[in-house]
Structure 1
């Protein structure tokens, strides 16, 4: 079992590496074996991209047909009808896919692939044990076709027969004007002698050529291309990581004894022997074919696999996002906690500074008040005598003062009576013109009961008293 990893780069497709996991003899055909699951895990467990798995060609029924439509939906419907004709499996137990090979304005040549669903389920189970969901299911012979096409081994004109003797499977490909018309698997030859198997191969190819002319018409056929591995270079050497595909190819390839004469006799064609070691590995061919996938390319993977794969990727994305969010949350909490501790230390330092400054500030405030009191008592400008002198100078005739109250730095309160209310109001106006007082507030003027002299009160505020009240 081989695996090749590629990626797209600015220079094109880049091969990152190739690996191979050797399976015990006889295990290759058992897709559900524990050895297959272990090999899948060994090769693909650490691969983060999409995975394409190819199943052996002898597990799949392949048929090339011409369909009188170019509509993809109609092609799928016609393909299902064709499967009923050539597939021995019940439709409900069959996985079907198709690939567009060529197209004209009104018709399409397609390859129809049909395989028992239990084989696909076995592949899914084997890779599922490794925690892998394949994104595509391809067929091995399509990888060889891609490699031969890219190597220029498929002529654009005429008919060409290619017989591929791989270690695990024997395939026949017939192309016509550069487009495939036949894909057939002839098995592995296990359980029969080499001579009998070669005879069977020659007969099957002769039958294929006869059926080909009946279905696709007579056309000059070129040589048969016999592709096989050199005895000294099994497939695993050609797929060794870091070794070019053609580095291990020997100078000559020896075909099995008696095979070429049998092919020539059965088909009437010359046989050209070629080495599979001159091509890239099969896994690389499949990987490159997958990277160049067109909209209608073989894919036998069930639709539910794609849903499972998307769900798995979504869960992985959510898990990563949750982990990132958790880390960011922890960082944020750490910053808040450290910031809170810093703030607490700063507040404690500020409180200590305030406590140190509070006592000197109180002492300065008390000293300021004492200085203000001394200045106030030392200032004779607004003394009681000055206020009384000013009042007496402004006191009109007819007014008698009955009370004089003086409060240092506060106000002066007067009470008295007069011959008339007009005289009292004249006195109020005279006090308001004095510069000794910040403000003068006249009280109520009352007439004594029994027609006596009117009584009045007045309050004059000294400078500085209003500021004290606001404080």
Structure 2
């Protein structure tokens, strides 16, 4: 697929903002800007970084583009995981459970992201990218300082690899093909089948040893991990003129095809294409997102300050009038309450008297009714010697039984009586030489917990 072809695909999306890919190379800062209408423009600025990003800022309006940048794959650990097929939320949970085992540095020093690569045989292939937070922050901070906040931070080698696949510049079949992307600082090895990466390694230049041995080790590790497959073709991708000799050497040693010049998209253009078509990796640390949310909040508050002040003046005037109206209504209500207060007191006193009279007429919990109930449950072997009744509170029973078992039986019968909420044995004793068992039992009436003080005409208190 040609560059103009995927520019056309962006045009059909009709987004309100375009994409700007910013790539940090060892010698310069490269950028490609693609507007929503499809026009593209490439710019570059020599290092140092501070001067380069300021130069880029003068040529770009940040509010017209979503900015994407990348960290070098040599600074990122890319792991290909096979997980059970699940939705995005479940995949995230599974990755988070395994991330501590994958981190090469303490968690507070790392940032990670993951992307689903596809599903096969009820398994989902996932690439997990882990980078040192300081390496990511270094590039994000440089762009932020120039007023070019990046929305996405991805991995440069993966973006170039996918751009080559879209251009149909790489072989696509079921074998384990290899793409070696040569940059001034490293050679990035991507082993893939069809369009799915199976392994990603970065070899920092200069490399000591045989290129063929390095490739063979990667293929053997894939086979040991259960991703068996026949070795495929090798493609060497050269990104800059300065690395042409290294790329040619690698291609010669591995017997591979060399891609260079116009056949290879620039890293900045690859970044634009990666994000415009929905690349899933984003290594932007959360603290940058939080800072931007706070900055947007402050900006919105500042912009709304004047409008809020005018609205506050109108609201204050309305509240003043409303307050005067409410005060007049409150005085009217207070006057009505004062007129009704004597009738309310008379009704309250009458209610208290009626409650007191109702309790006095209720014989269910009277002393006679309680005595009748405890007497009906009295076994032949048990005799009561004491009956103390406290109205609406409890009944204390004292007695003697021929045996302790008879006394316990009587206590059990009392516990079943519907008049009592609780039956508690205070004491029960039998003389050592034998004889009558003496006992004392407290029976709490069910009315004890709910009874309020009786209100009488001489003590008119309402609760």
Q: Give the TM-score category using the shorter length.
A: 0.5 to 0.7
**Aligned equivalent of 2:274:** 289
Q: Is the 8 A contact 1:6 1:288 kept in 2?
A: no
Within 5 Å, give how 1:298-313 maps onto structure 2. 298-313=281-296
The offset of 1:213, in angstroms, is 1.8
Does 2:209 correspond to 1:226? no
Change (3 A) 1:92 1:59: same
Change (3 A) 1:216 1:272: farther
Residues in 2 aligned to 1:230 and 1:301: alpha-carbon distance in whole angstroms: 27
For 2:41, which of 4, 14, 17 is the aligned residue? 17
Residues in 2 aligned to 1:60 and 1:207: alpha-carbon distance in whole angstroms: 20
Residues in 1 aligned to 2:252 and 2:161: alpha-carbon distance in whole angstroms: 25
Change (3 A) 1:315 1:104: farther
For 2:179, which of 152, 162, 165 is the aligned residue? 162
The offset of 1:44, in angstroms, is 3.7
TM-score of the aligned structures, taking structure 2 as reference length: 0.54
The offset of 1:43, in angstroms, is 1.8
The offset of 1:101, in angstroms, is 0.8
Q: Is the 8 A contact 1:4 1:15 kept in 2?
A: no
For 1:68, which of 84, 89, 105 is the aligned residue? 84
Say which is worse superposed, 221-230 or 177-186, in terms of deviation: 221-230
**Aligned equivalent of 2:227:** 217
Superposed CA offset, 1:190-249 (max 9, x none): xxxxxxx26354332221111122224332222211122574xx59xxxxxxxxxxxxxx
Change (3 A) 1:216 1:140: same
Q: What secondary structure sits across from 1:137 in the alignment?
A: strand
TM-score of the aligned structures, taking structure 1 as reference length: 0.53
Which sections of structure 1, spanning at least 5 residues, go unmatched? 24-34, 190-196, 236-252, 264-269, 327-471
Change (3 A) 1:201 1:291: same
Residues in 2 aligned to 1:273 and 1:173: alpha-carbon distance in whole angstroms: 15
Does 2:136 correspond to 1:108? no
The offset of 1:302, in angstroms, is 1.8
Q: CA RMSD of the aligned region, Å?
A: 3.1
The offset of 1:51, in angstroms, is 1.3
Superposed CA offset, 1:295-352 (max 9, x none): xx111112232233344445556667779x89xxxxxxxxxxxxxxxxxxxxxxxxxx
Say which is worse superposed, 306-315 or 107-116, in terms of deviation: 306-315
Q: Is the 8 A contact 1:38 1:130 kept in 2?
A: no
For 2:49, which of 24, 33, 36 is the aligned residue? 36
The offset of 1:86, in angstroms, is 3.6
Change (3 A) 1:286 1:209: same
The offset of 1:104, in angstroms, is 4.5
The offset of 1:114, in angstroms, is 0.7
**Aligned equivalent of 2:257:** 272
Change (3 A) 1:79 1:316: same
The offset of 1:167, in angstroms, is 2.2
Q: Is the 8 A contact 1:80 1:96 kept in 2?
A: no
The offset of 1:185, in angstroms, is 1.2
Does 2:140 correspond to 1:127? no
Q: Is the 8 A contact 2:233 2:256 kept in 1?
A: yes
Residues in 2 aligned to 1:80 and 1:184: alpha-carbon distance in whole angstroms: 22
Q: What secondary structure sits across from 1:222 in the alignment?
A: strand
Q: Is the 8 A contact 1:154 1:175 kept in 2?
A: no
The offset of 1:170, in angstroms, is 1.4
Q: Is the 8 A contact 1:137 1:301 kept in 2?
A: yes
Q: Is the 8 A contact 2:251 2:258 kept in 1?
A: no
Which sections of structure 2, spanning at least 5 residues, go unmatched? 1-28, 309-463
Within 5 Å, give how 1:274-423 maps onto structure 2. 274-293=259-278, 297-313=280-296
Change (3 A) 1:259 1:149: closer
Superposed CA offset, 1:437-456 (max 9, x none): xxxxxxxxxxxxxxxxxxxx
Within 5 Å, give how 1:161-200 maps onto structure 2. 161-189=178-206, 197=207, 199=209
Number of corresponding residues: 278
